[in-house]
Amino acid sequence: MSSVDGVDHTNNVEKVIWDNVPGTTATVIVHANAFTIPTSEQTFAVAWDIRSL
């Protein structure tokens, strides 16, 4: 992971910090850009950590 905030165009791991999420439900949508995948599908993993304030 990059040690600075912003989009990391070099590594394939991103870290997102979302403070003060409004409400009790959140939706996360993952997009892969600039890839040509013959099968139109690509596996990926998402990990999260929810912390109470």
Decide if pLDDT at 1 tops 70.
no
Decide if pLDDT at 43 tops 80.
no
Decide if pLDDT at 53 tops 70.
no
Q: What is the extent of the structural domain holding 14?
A: 1-53
What's the CA gap between 53 and 51, in Å, rounded? Answer: 6
What's the CA gap between 33 and 24, in Å, rounded? Answer: 29
Q: How many domains does the chain have?
A: 1
The pTM of the full predicted model, rounded to 2 decimals, is 0.44
What's the CA gap between 39 and 26, in Å, rounded? Answer: 30
pLDDT of residue 35: 64
The tens digit of pLDDT for each residue in 17-36 reads 888 877 788 888 887 766 66
